[in-house]
Amino acid sequence: MGSQAEHEGIDTTTASTARVYDYLLGGKDHYAIDREFAERLAERCPELNFNWEVRQNRGFMVRAIRHLAANAGMRQFLDIGTGLPTQENAHQVAQAVAPDARVVYVDNDPIVLAHARALLTSTPEGVTRYIDRDLRDPDAILEDAAQVLDFSKPVVLSLIAVLHFVSDPEPVLERLRAALAPGSHLVISHGVHRPEFEPIAETYQRVMRLEDAALRPYARIQAMFGGPDWEILDPGLVPVAVWRPDEPTLVDPASGVFIGGISRKVG
Ligand SMILES: C[S@@+](CC[C@H](N)C(=O)[O-])C[C@H]1O[C@@H](n2cnc3c(N)ncnc32)[C@H](O)[C@@H]1O
């Protein structure tokens, strides 16, 4: 293990989801073990182009945040499972539209903490904050985030490509949704289960030792957007590439491992 990485608590002997994702996006913050993992994924599931998949997922995040800041008047954002900083991070997207936007980032990987400075480049009118916390401890996240966000007003909760790493996400989601005021929005992307995608979850479980990693059926992901107090915005829960694309897309709606959508709290 490199001494700098070791000092920062970064394990370079096991691949990490944040670093593999960074590699697939064309970033620079990854190690040989992460690149090997990405190659393993491609071998196990050759019908998928993982670079394309992660770009589509990131594009969905950008379009969703931009839409909520520009068209729904959202000014507060809580992004859990942020990942490594890349070209367009949530605060840059939101603050380009609304410079006074307040953004709280949460991740539990030490590599993200080590690079969090790049997430803290807020506009003077807005705020960004990074919280080193685990999604499975929503009470701690809510308590820390309340230092920056006013939960009596609408908040955007984004959980992009993170819930599939948690074994039992529903109680966590219930707790987080309950903390949000009417007018809040929930943005989720999640890996959908199909028989041909099974090697993906299996590779994460076995090689990364993430026993909880799971692709889930469409109906179970749809239920994560909330009960009767929540309405799903058009076009619903769809492959991320076809969620309000900037340009017309020829993507086969049945393809792609990430599906995503936005719901709004009405009650
Ligand atoms: C695939 S990356 C997605 C990054 C970003 N949300 C995006 O879609 O571009 C998943 C991120 O979730 C984080 N993560 C995984 N499990 C987590 C947990 N239990 N608590 C907090 N973050 C977690 C990982 O460290 C990683 O940075």
Q: Write out the DSSP string of the chain.
A: --HHHHHTT--SSS--HHHHHHHHHT-S---HHHHHHHHHHHHH-TT--HHHHHHHHHHHHHHHHHHHHHHS---EEEEES--S--SS-HHHHHHHH-TT-EEEEEE--HHHHHTGGGG----SSSEEEEEE--TT-HHHHHHHHTTT--TTS--EEEEES-GGGSS-HHHHHHHHHHTSPTT-EEEEEEEBP-GGGHHHHHHHHHHS--TT---B-HHHHHHTT-STTEEEPTT-SEEGGGSS-SS-----TT--SEEEEEEEE--
What integer is the mean pLDDT of 166-193?
98
What integer is the mean pLDDT of 76-90?
97
Q: Is the CB of 191 under 6 A from ligand 1?
A: no
pTM of the model: 0.97
Using CA positions, which residue lies closest to atom 11 of ligand 1?
Answer: 81
Counting ligand 1 atoms within 8 A of each CB, the residue from 22, 56, 135, 165 with the most, and so the one to mutate, is 165
pLDDT tier, 1 (very low <50, low <70, confident <90, very high otherwise): very low
Between the CA of 208 and the centroid of ligand 1 the distance, in Å, is: 14
Residue 3 scores a pLDDT above 80: no
pLDDT for 249: 79
Residue 19 scores a pLDDT above 60: yes
pLDDT tier, 253 (very low <50, low <70, confident <90, very high otherwise): low
Between the CA of 59 and the centroid of ligand 1 the distance, in Å, is: 16
Domains defined along the chain, listed by start: 49-196+212-265 (3.40.50.150)
Between the CA of 79 and the centroid of ligand 1 the distance, in Å, is: 10
Using CA positions, which residue lies closest to atom 12 of ligand 1?
Answer: 81
Q: Is the CB of 157 under 6 A from ligand 1?
A: no
Mean predicted lDDT score pLDDT of the chain: 95
Share of the chain above pLDDT 90, in %: 92
What integer is the mean pLDDT of 240-260?
88
Between the CA of 133 and the centroid of ligand 1 the distance, in Å, is: 11
